[in-house]
Structure 1
Amino acid sequence: MLVHLRGAVWQIDCGGVNAYLADADVLTLVDTGTPWHGATVRTAIREAGFEVADLGRILITHYDIDHVGSLASLAAETGATVHMGAADAPFLMAKEQPPGLTLKGAIQRLTDPFVDRPATDPELMADGDEAGSFVAYHTPGHTPGHTAYVSDALDAAFVGDLVVEDEGELAPSPWFISYDTESVRESIHDLADRAPAVDVLGMGHGVPFVEAGSVRLAELGQRIEAR
Structure 2
Amino acid sequence: MVRELADGVWHIDLSGTNAYLVADDALTLVDTGMPWHADTIATAVADAGYAVSDIDRVLLTHYDLDHVGGLPRLKGLDATVYAGERDADLVTGREKPSVFDQKGAFQRLTGLLTAPPSARVEPVRDGDTVGSFTAYHTPGHTPGHVAYVSEQLGVAFLGDLVRESGGDLEPSPWYLSHDTDDVRASIRDLADRAPDFDIACIGHGTPLLEGGRDALRRLA
Normalised TM-score (structure 2): 0.97
After superposition, the C-alpha distances for 1:8-50 in whole angstroms (9 at most, x for unaligned) are 1111000000001111101100000000000111111111111
Shift of 1:113: 1.1
Partner of 2:186: 187
Q: What is the correspondence of 1:1-227 to structure 2 with a 5 Å cutoff?
A: 1-74=1-74, 77-221=76-220
Moved over 6 A (4+): none
Equivalent-residue separation in structure 2 for 1:139 and 1:24 (angstroms): 24
Equivalent-residue separation in structure 2 for 1:25 and 1:44 (angstroms): 20
Shift of 1:73: 2.7
3-state DSSP of counterpart to 1:37: helix
- Equivalent pairs, count: 220
Structure 2: runs of 5+ lacking an equivalent: none
User: What letter matches 1:9 in structure 2?
Assistant: V
Partner of 1:224: none
3-state DSSP of counterpart to 1:107: helix
Equivalent-residue separation in structure 2 for 1:132 and 1:188 (angstroms): 23
Shift of 1:121: 4.1
User: What letter matches 2:145 in structure 1?
Assistant: H
Shift of 1:100: 1.2
Shift of 1:189: 0.6
Shift of 1:69: 0.6
> Aligned residues: percent identity?
53
3-state DSSP of counterpart to 1:183: helix
Equivalent-residue separation in structure 2 for 1:49 and 1:119 (angstroms): 25
After superposition, the C-alpha distances for 1:89-143 in whole angstroms (9 at most, x for unaligned) are 1212222221112111111011111112112441110001111111100000100
Equivalent-residue separation in structure 2 for 1:59 and 1:111 (angstroms): 21
3-state DSSP of counterpart to 2:35: coil
Q: Is the 8 A contact 2:79 2:119 kept in 1?
A: no
Shift of 1:158: 0.1
Distance 1:120 1:50, change over 3 A: closer
Structure 1: runs of 5+ lacking an equivalent: 222-227
Equivalent-residue separation in structure 2 for 1:21 and 1:176 (angstroms): 29
After superposition, the C-alpha distances for 1:184-226 in whole angstroms (9 at most, x for unaligned) are 00000111111110111000000010101011000100xxxxx
User: What letter matches 1:3 in structure 2?
Assistant: R
Normalised TM-score (structure 1): 0.94
Equivalent-residue separation in structure 2 for 1:14 and 1:150 (angstroms): 22
User: What letter matches 1:187 in structure 2?
Assistant: S
